[in-house]
Chains A and B, each alone.
Chain A
Amino acid sequence: MLEAREIQVSYGERVAVSGVSLTLRPGEITAVIGPNGAGKSTLLQSLNGRIRPSGGSVLLDDRPLDQFSRRAIAQRIAVVAQEAELRFPITVLEFVLGGRFAWATNSGWGWESKRDLEIARDVLKETELTSLADRLMTELSGGERQRAVLARALATEALFLLLDEPTANLDLSHQATLLSLVRSRCDRRQASALVITHDVNLASQFADQVLLMKEGRAIRHGVPVEVLTSELLHEVFDVNVLVDSHPVSGLPRITPVHELVRHS
């Protein structure tokens, strides 16, 4: 289990995250939603050790995170963020193999093992990138590149996946594909995922738990139907929404109600 207890992150005077607690359980997807500046990314980064909380603690398998080495953390927690910097040519296969670094016996030097290659190939198959394995990352479309980033995270075999707006810049079909891949990894291997997203409907459809944040604090944490209410969403986003039941899935469907003022 990956657990955050009363996390506090401050940058000098500014408090980015205040008193947030969260548990990622096997097989569960937790969506984190909130306006910009709510502290979602900061929270994510404190979960894998990139940011040290000024208060509270992060526990991995019941042990404090700072007791683990960088590599040990990387073997258990993987991050899917925005696209990597691609200033040097690298093929999709090489890129995905980067996920095996944490398992290397010689760390800084050393070569990929047969097992590493097998895992990379499996993960490429899972993300439907096999035909693109030998192409350069820069030759791929945005959606394909994001799948490759996910593939690399899956190659680490980490049981905790932290995704920071993985579907931003993806078109409708790719958004669904990406999250389905996460869902299937969680179902098949009992992994857990934390997904920061701006798309509340996507959160409703894929998440088991939703954490609603505003100004660094957790406003509500629970199942989608509990959290995605028009009152709470209005409180957090300051926008009027209509929440009804999706006609096909039965899950909450959020429709913003805009008053379009036309100026004549």
Chain B
Amino acid sequence: MIAATQAGAAFAGLDSRTTPSKTLISCGALGLALLLAIVVSSLVGSEQLPVRAALCSLASFGSTPCGLTSDQFDILFQIRIPRILLAAAVGASLATAGASYQSLLRNPLAEPYLLGISNGAAVGTMIALVFFGANEWGRPVLAFAGALVATMAVYRLALGRAGATPERLILAGVIVTTFLSSVIVFVTTLMDATRIRSFTFWLLGDLSGTSTTLLPISIAIAVLGTILLSLNARSLNLLMLGERDAFDLGVEVRSVRLIIFVVASLLVGSSVAASGSVGYVGLVVPHLTRLSLGSDNRISIPCAALGGGLFVIAADTVARTIIAPRELPVGAITALIGAPLFIYLLKRA
């Protein structure tokens, strides 16, 4: 907590407020770091690529091979770059959603999975695997649909006389999560061995199945979602202090709550649809952002998006290189990094 004010003081003298310039500088720095991460990560992998040629080709956005062989060019632009971009989109989506949930629910421990959304997506995926196995679109569309259905179920359950209060939302989320978990376990026992294996891997967070058709959608949703949530950042700042206070100060609490909840849920649904359950991103990245930049959502939401992208790119790079040529699910890496980091953050607080 002291770090926030110290960092703030370093930024703008005695005034530790979040200012537009502070936000621009932070976002700019993180944006550059993200760009760097994309480039560096694309050079790393089980297949060694000539650095100069790869950099030259990247700089031309894939218009010239710059001396890369046709295979190397494909590895770079058909496999690695799409995967890295998806990692960035997933990381940004999950971190932004997590930051918004934590502010909306006034609970620093709130994270996308607490509200049953990932399990909803997982159930949707299962239905796709069982009934529409061959269709590429089946899994993401039904995962997304499952996430939305879970979101609506949680919201409906949580609606009381005063709207869906944070306490009721969390309770409803836990109920829906546990119910859906048992559904998943039940259906898993009915699956055959090969399906169980690929499903389990996917459940743990898997970026290897990046589809180039679906990638633009994931990126578009990540960008749009972050923008939409950022547009409500000031309302979220007030909601963080309590819904009564926010209401009295002029926030349209019910509609803001609905927007945040739906947009954040769409972000999580689209991430899970693309890559399964990449855990801890929505928990750890917003925490780190708030610790270093303060709790003002106008800076912490955009920066969480960029930081989330960085985090998942890093984790996925480790996941695909550490036991090369085999791969680990990226969710395993984010958990291995995320859990101890979270314990450390808890101790500091």
Residues of chain A having any CB pair with chain B under 8 Å: 48, 50, 70-71, 73-75, 78-79, 81, 84-91, 93-95, 97-99, 101-102, 104, 106-112, 134, 136, 138, 152, 156
Contact = CB atoms under 8 A, between A and B. Distances in A.
Contact of B108 (A88, A97, A111): A88
Contact of B240 (A75, A88, A134): A88
Interface string B154-170: 00000000000000000
Given A78-B248, A108-B231, A136-B5, A89 B295 contact: yes
Nearest to A156: B249
A54 B337 CA distance: 55
Contact of A91 (B5, B232, B290): B5
Given A74-B249, A94-B296, A85 B19 contact: no
Interface stretch (B64-72, B250-258, B276-284, B319-327): B250-258
Contacts of B247: 50, 70
A136 B142 CA distance: 46
A70 B251 contact: yes
Closest 7 CB pairs of A and B: A74-B250, A102-B250, A88-B295, A79-B248, A71-B250, A108-B232, A89-B1
8 contacts: A81-B248, A91-B16, A107-B250, A108-B235, A108-B256, A109-B298, A134-B9, A134-B14
B5 A73 contact: no
B20 interface: yes
B253 to A, nearest CB: 8
Contacts of A97: 17
Contacts of A138: 1
B233 interface: yes
A84 B5 contact: no
A84 B302 CA distance: 26
Given A70-B250, A73-B250, A101 B15 contact: no
A116 to B, nearest CB: 11
B52 interface: no
A104 B234 contact: yes
Nearest to B1: A89
Interface string B35-73: 000000000000000000000000000000000000000
Given A87-B107, A89-B1, A136-B1, A102 B249 contact: yes
A74 B234 contact: no
Interface of B: 1, 4-5, 9, 14-20, 103, 106-108, 230-235, 237-238, 240-242, 244-245, 247-252, 256, 290, 294-296, 298
Given A50-B247, A87-B108, A111-B19, 20 more contacts: A50-B248, A74-B250, A81-B248, A84-B241, A85-B106, A85-B241, A85-B242, A90-B295, A91-B5, A95-B241, A97-B17, A98-B245, A106-B234, A107-B250, A108-B232, A109-B230, A109-B298, A136-B1, A152-B249, A156-B249
Nearest to A48: B248
Contact of B232 (A86, A101, A109): A109
A75 B250 contact: yes
A93 B5 CA distance: 12
A46 to B, nearest CB: 13
Contacts of B107: 87
Given A97-B17, A108-B235, A110-B234, A90 B241 contact: yes
A78 B230 CA distance: 26
B285 to A, nearest CB: 16
Nearest to B227: A109
Nearest to A100: B249
Contacts of B245: 81, 84, 98
Given A85-B106, A88-B240, A93-B17, A70 B1 contact: no
Contacts of B15: 93, 134
A134 B231 CA distance: 26
B290 A88 contact: yes
B21 to A, nearest CB: 10
Contacts of B230: 109
B305 to A, nearest CB: 15
Given A88-B108, A89-B1, A89-B294, A109 B241 contact: no
B2 to A, nearest CB: 8
Nearest to A87: B106
Contact of A107 (B20, B108, B234): B234
Contacts of B294: 89
A88 B247 CA distance: 18
A84 B237 contact: no
A136 B16 CA distance: 11
A59 B16 CA distance: 41
Contacts of A136: 1, 5
Given A90-B295, A108-B232, A70 B252 contact: yes
A257 B250 CA distance: 45
